[in-house]
Amino acid sequence: MQISVKEQLDKMNEMQRKAAEHTEGPLLILAGAGSGKTTVLINRIAVILENKLCYPSNILAITFTNKAAKELVNRIDNLLGDEAKGVWASTFHSFCSKVLRRNINILGFSNDFSIFDTDDSIRVIKSVQKNLGIDPQILPARAVLSRISMCKNNRILPKDYMENFGNDVYNRDIYCIYTEYEKQLAGSNALDFDDIILKAVTLFEKSSEVLNYYSNKFKYIMVDEYQDTNPLQYRLIYLLQSAHHNICVVGDDDQSIYKFRGATIENILSFEKTFKDATVIRLEQNYRSTANILDAANNVISNNSQRKGKTLWTASDKGEPIYENRLDDEYQESLFIADTILDSVAVENMHYKDFAVLYRTNAQSNSLEQMFVKSGIPYKIIGGVRFYERKEIKDILAYLYLVHNTNDDLRLTRIINEPKRKIGQATLDTLRNLANGNLTSMYDIAQNAGEYPELARSMSKLGEFCALINSFRNQKESMPISELIKEISVKSGYISMLETENTEEARDRINNIAELVSTAAIFESQSQDATLGAFLEEIALMTDIDNLDESSDRVILMTLHSAKGLEFNNVFISGVEEGLFPGQKSIESQEEIEEERRLMYVGITRAKKRLYLTHTLARTIFGTTKYNKPSRFLKEIPSEIIKPLYNKDKQGISAAAYSSPLSSRVITKTADLNTSAKILRPSAPASAACIELEPGKRVVHKTFGPGTIISKKPMGGDTLLEINFDKTGTKKIMANFTRLKEE
């Protein structure tokens, strides 16, 4: 039974309801972490439709992730059912892509344009650098792409580059690369990630007809996470709201943490200056965290000056204190985290998915991963190698892109000899040169290879390749995408190539391709526009967070930047040390420190029930051992709500003894930190040392319960055990960390 809009509004607090019922004119909703902003957005849409202020298709709701957009659509559907069909809910990039597919011909592109991801863009830049003779060691391709991205987000085109950055050798080289990079994108009928919004804004400014259509169409515009917008996104929103001025933005200036991506906190801080008749409503009641966690967050963020000001509060109780632990090094830190998780799962019947470990840099995950593997803790890293970045997936997608858009020279270059077709680099270079000289695509030259004497020796091989691609192109309209992927995988010889390798890795790659087929089948069943172009677009705009399976029972490891928008019962923030968090480069700048403090605020407010803050006396990272002081952010949390899990009075290695709130485990170390930088490893637990660990042996694990040892394998001074647990299945864990007893 559906709940009426009135019943839904009656459940809201005063400020939530005020925001939901405010429908006309510019509105800024300052929504603190966990304050129910999505509930407000959904109910605001419900109020608009309930009062028949417009049709569903006249409402545009923009978010930053596909995950958030899908949640918005699902919750609107649950509340209003068919009444809400037609509401536009999408990310910035998905919305702009949809606009461009219909109108990009005005800008000289065709609507079957490709979208290049970061890896694709870097490949183009490296190719350009090689052609221009620019040393990639002096000017790394990733650094060049970062500068180009910054330029596009600030609308600095190649022709304006030198005026903005100077005429020295460094900037002249970037200017040359940027200019040629843009030519190659245009020649491939392709856009990079930043182009999607840039071209949409350019389209609106160039065509008053297109702008008038969309600005009149959307009577109500709502933007989530407004503090994360960059100048280009601000311009897009400003143009779209020009007809009706009913712009509602939801954001939290205290969670503005993406300056490195071009986001500017000024967009939210100056909202009332931009929209003179704006109303501001603050959502400060938190429904996520305990009072102690909120006290910690409020006290930390209060030290920032660049903020509009609000104080989170909750009707919940104080909850547990904030647990702080100081360990000797990253190994002991990882051991403490692993032990605490295992104890909680065993003693309190928690699940692994109740835990997240957050860190400032990806490099910190290494010691955590090693410890989790040894301890048998299932985990998922957000920000590791994404599924769509794996070679076999990018190869099959490259076939799909070329089938969709034969102007895509980058994808052609990737797969013309994958699997091997005896089409070498010399032939590719000739194709590229002829394409450039004739102002056409490499595929067009390959199809007509007989007309070019330079390609006489490769003519038959090129003809076979083009015939293959054309056969797929003839099938793309009539064949489901999932079947087309199967057809490409087999007919191209890709599966046969992997089967011939006959290795474990090759079998995994075949399974990954099968997973891509499944993904396409799901897309076909759920999408109203199940075309090849729509499928490629969805994949291109997908982020790692979009693939997070919250039902999977695994500990989540991720950077603090990746964690925004998520919540967990128990959160560890590791490496809370000066020089790491805040980072060394931030310490000299007040503006940068405030950004880091906002990042700490985001990390703290991810925790619902329990928060652990860990730091070490010594940490080896990027090959260098450093001795850092505890972070200044720790001192900004009231001492009365912090419970230290170490002896504050102990000198030297003061983390030699520690205890979690669930155990009194003590680890003794004999080395002095000042005389040895070597990380000492604790001896094997007594329980593992006292029993024979042989295949067939029945054992009991503290967390996983009873099971049978299947195999053992010596590995690095330890033993890898494969154990089939009765309730949780087969797991591979290291003997020195098993906590086993005889059944």
Active site residues: 37-38, 224-225, 255, 606
Residues 6 or more apart whose Cβ sits within 8 Å of residue 301: 254, 307, 597, 598, 601
Strand-pairing partners, residue 41, are none
Cα–Cα distances in angstroms (integers) from residue 437 to residues 129, 441, 445, in the given order? 19, 10, 11
Cα distance from N-terminal residue to C-terminal residue, the chain? 51
Q: What is the dihedral of CA 46, 51, 53, 56, to 10 degrees?
A: 40
Q: In whole angstroms, what is the distance from residue 218 CA to residue 62 CA?
A: 12
Q: Torsions phi, psi of 68, nearest 5?
A: -65, -40
Q: Identify which of 64, 119, 120, 48 has the alpha carbon closest to the alpha carbon of residue 96.
A: 64
User: CA-based diameter of the chain, in Å?
Assistant: 84
Classify strands 718-725 and 729-734 as parallel, antiparallel or unpaired.
antiparallel
Cα–Cα distances in angstroms (integers) from residue 145 to residues 150, 458, 543, in the given order? 9, 34, 19
Q: Is 660 helix (H, G, I), strand (E, B) or coil?
A: coil
Find out whether 40 and 78 touch, Cβ atoms under 8 Å. Answer: no
In DSSP notation, 349-366 reads ---GGGEEEEESSGGGHH
Q: Is 33 helix (H, G, I), strand (E, B) or coil?
A: coil
Element (H, E) at 522: helix 504-526
Find out whether 409 and 442 touch, Cβ atoms under 8 Å. Answer: yes
Q: Identify which of 674, 680, 544, 659 has the alpha carbon closest to the alpha carbon of residue 612.
A: 659
Q: Identify which of 631, 662, 658, 664 has the alpha carbon closest to the alpha carbon of residue 645.
A: 658
In DSSP notation, 96-158 reads HHHHHHHHGGGGT--TT-EEE-HHHHHHHHHHHHHHHT--TTTS-HHHHHHHHHHHHHTT--H
Q: What are 682's two structure tokens?
A: 């604790």
Q: What are 53's two structure tokens?
A: 């202020």
Q: Would you give the DSSP letter of residue 637?
A: S
Q: Would you give the DSSP letter of residue 583?
A: B
| Alpha helices, H only, 321-390 | 330-347, 365-375
Q: In whole angstroms, what is the distance from residue 3 CA to residue 39 CA?
A: 14
- Left (φ > 0), alpha (ψ -120 to 50) or beta: where does 696 sit? left
Find out whether 333 and 367 touch, Cβ atoms under 8 Å. Answer: yes
